[in-house]
A and B are shown apart, each in its own frame.
Chain A
Amino acid sequence: MKELIKRLVEAYGPAGSEECVRNLIMEEVRPYVDEVQVDALGNLIAIKRGGSKKLMLSSHMDEIGVMVTHIDENGFLRFYNVGGLSPFSLIGNRCYFANGTVGVFGTEQLDAMKDLTMSKMFIDIGAASREEAAEKVRIGDTAAIKREFVDLGNRLVAKAMDDRIACAIQIEALKQVEKPVYDVYAVFSVQEEVGLRGARVAAFGITPDLGIAIDVTRTGDTPKSATMDVALGKGPTVKVRDSSVLCTPAVRHHMEEVAKANNIPYQLEVLERGGTDAGAIQLTKSGVPAGVMSIPCRYIHTASEMVDYRDVEHGVRFLVKLMETEYKG
């Protein structure tokens, strides 16, 4: 599975440009599901039939990135962020475009580092003129952070663990599940990082009886971190709430029962800032019961997001069992 994770996290896919990730996932899941669809916004929906009720799973394919908004006469690119990105996290980093072009982030001369904003930064793709730059990059093109996958043993580090680690879990669970008790609509959603847009329209189209999002969550296990009772290596979480959702209490209870019944370690998660696809799913039409399983992840929205592989493995088993256990409401 680590090989699959490596391919997923190294794939290019800022919000709105999820094609590469989608193609990769489509090839991976097609043999294991009954039907594969792509909707108007680009969500990939893999359907595996097994029951009368509809279970929607959602892991988002998109990652944070940047978009080029200007090319100056010397070939430097100006840009904006796509999704929540701190300018400080870009210093010293590189990015890459869909066509493989690589750029490095630079900053204007600043009086004080705290004055740094995205508008005082630029991307250098090694072009000496506007014309030369324009051969490789166009205004409106997006770039992803460039950083390779690293296997530290139990811990894995990469860009885009948010939320490709969930994509990997969802793919692996689709491969392993034998008899789902639902018609499972496994959505690999788009544009989560810019406002849960993909999951919103996918859920409207599906009208599920139950929705479960899979995402990453913050931890409170690093030096002087914010108060949060989640740590790497203690299992996936069952979310209680974040800014986008108060998980349906009955779904949360169901998830806890499934974890306990199958000896899957889990943690309860209260995330004070951040949202997930479940927030959009829950508010679909006249309401959908919704829950979230998260993988604890350090350094979210940087080039080095870290998860624990044991949490990932437990996450796969947890998701398989959730597909195999009926939610009674």
Chain B
Amino acid sequence: MLLKRLSEAFGPSGQEQDVRAVLQEELNDYISEWKRDALGNLIAVKPASSGPRVMLAAHMDECGLMVTHVDGAGLLHFRKVGGLDDRVLVSKSVVVGKKRVAGVIGAKAIHLQKPQERTQVIPHNSLYIDIGAKSKEEALKMVNIGDYVVFDTKFGEFGTGMVKGKAFDDRAGCAVLAEVLKEDYSMPVYGAFTVQEEIGLRGAGVAAYAVDPDLAIVLEGTTCNDVSGADEHGYCTHLGGGPAITVMDASAISNKKMVAELVRLAEEHNIPYQFKRSITGGSDAGRINVSRDGVPVVVVSVPCRYIHSPVSVLQLSDFEHTIALVKLFLRSIEGGFRV
């Protein structure tokens, strides 16, 4: 399954090559022209001579860690890549560097902690990765300073109709985009798999500058907090509710006509849909929207619980419905679209 291979690929911001490789292999038979740039964006081009120039974007990178120091005892100290909550780091297994060395992020045993320590968040700069090395020299034979680190999480089925895995933000979007690109359309379509979203929406802007699209759709795996104890108005999205359409977030306001068209199509074809019910956080749309003289954008997301952590959860029906809705949208604008 493509989503499994994408989820398990190693790809923190700035180190996306594994993800690129998975996508290129998957789409090899469908795409004749690939573009690359100085940052590592991968753009699948589906040329056509008429109709609006459409850019679809999903980011390949995930949150992770980077080894910045190896101490005398052979323990690896690290900095965060992207917005990871310090609290999710403790007591996890990780994979380090090109050799994929196994490591663990431990914590002082609870027996050894003072009562007040137990209630405090352990900051990431006092955590470390243990790769079983006994000394700095031994550690440096296994890893290098600057090596990237990701969580060691296996993709798998979960509950009823759900799957779990790491990096659904935004490998879910990558998988949706890959499926959408397997069909042909009568207008030019650019499928941009972007880099460095998690550290500041870095890849999408330069990709949009190169593509110079008439309109763009950003595909995301987005926040979902439909869990016990949360206020319903804080859910943001809910699993099983279908693709989430963003009206506005901290980085961009979606084009109203594109939103309306998505809603019309979903209702006409009985595809469940929901609006994303928070405006915090940003996406690649923020950069694409203000590229050159302006690009109308909309964000469509697969709701994912527990993003930016070692394990996220999505409902497969939402994933399939997102693919279906995006394809329908593309079909509906083949003859042109007035934004």
Contacts and interface: CB of A to CB of B under 8 A. Distances in A.
Nearest to A201: B294
Interface residues of B, number: 24
A139 interface: yes
Given A67-B248, A82-B248, A194-B253, A40 B233 contact: no
A3 B339 CA distance: 33
Interface string A192-203: 001001001110
A40 B247 contact: no
Interface string B239-264: 00000000110001100100100000
Contacts of B339: 40
A88 interface: no
B253 A202 contact: no
A41 interface: yes
A70 B235 CA distance: 9
Interface residues of A, number: 24
A43 B232 CA distance: 36
Interface stretch (B55-63, B123-131, B140-148, B272-280): B272-280
Contacts of B248: 16, 67, 82, 140
Given A72-B232, A78-B233, A39 B275 contact: no
Contact of B294 (A39, A140, A194): A39
Contact of B290 (A16, A72, A201): A201
A32 interface: no
A205 interface: yes
A129 interface: no
A83 to B, nearest CB: 11
Contact of A197 (B233, B278, B280, B290): B290
B200 interface: no
A140 B275 contact: yes
Nearest to B292: A204
A15 interface: yes
A65 to B, nearest CB: 11
Contacts of B106: none
B293 A202 contact: yes
B281 to A, nearest CB: 11
B289 A41 contact: yes
A327 B37 CA distance: 40
A318 B296 CA distance: 35
Contacts of B83: none
A70 B294 contact: no
DSSP class of B's interface residues: helix, strand, loop or mixed? loop
B336 interface: no
Nearest to A207: B293
A201 B280 CA distance: 23
A16 B248 CA distance: 9
A140 B294 CA distance: 22
B234 interface: yes
DSSP class of A's interface residues: helix, strand, loop or mixed? mixed
B247 A67 contact: yes
Nearest to B293: A205
B82 to A, nearest CB: 21
Nearest to A71: B233
Interface in A56-112: 67, 69-70, 72, 78, 80, 82
A140 B247 CA distance: 6
B288 to A, nearest CB: 11
A176 interface: no
B165 to A, nearest CB: 28
A41 B294 CA distance: 6
A39 B294 CA distance: 8
A70 B237 CA distance: 10
Contacts of A205: 292-294
B95 interface: no
Given A39-B294, A82-B248, A201-B292, A67 B233 contact: no
Nearest to A140: B247
Nearest to A194: B253
B295 interface: yes
Contacts of A191: 253
Contact of A201 (B234, B259, B277, B293): B293
A80 B278 contact: yes
A109 B294 CA distance: 44
B294 A40 contact: yes
Contacts of B252: 197
A139 B235 CA distance: 13
A243 interface: no
A16 B294 contact: no
Interface string B262-306: 000000000000010111100000000111111110000000000
B290 A139 contact: no
Contacts of B294: 39-41, 43, 201-202, 204-205
A70 B232 contact: yes
B290 A119 contact: no
Contacts of B293: 39-40, 201-202, 204-205
B141 to A, nearest CB: 47
A194 B290 CA distance: 12
A201 B286 CA distance: 12
Contacts of A119: 233-234
Contacts of A202: 293-294
Contacts of B295: 40
B247 A139 contact: yes
Given A72-B232, A140-B275, 11 more contacts: A15-B253, A16-B253, A40-B294, A40-B339, A67-B279, A72-B233, A80-B280, A82-B279, A201-B292, A201-B293, A201-B294
9 contacts: A16-B256, A78-B277, A80-B279, A82-B279, A119-B234, A139-B277, A140-B259, A197-B252, A201-B290
**Smallest CB-CB A-B distances: 7 pairs:** A201-B294, A140-B247, A205-B293, A16-B253, A70-B233, A40-B294, A78-B233
Interface of A: 15-16, 39-41, 43, 67, 69-70, 72, 78, 80, 82, 119, 139-140, 191, 194, 197, 200-202, 204-205
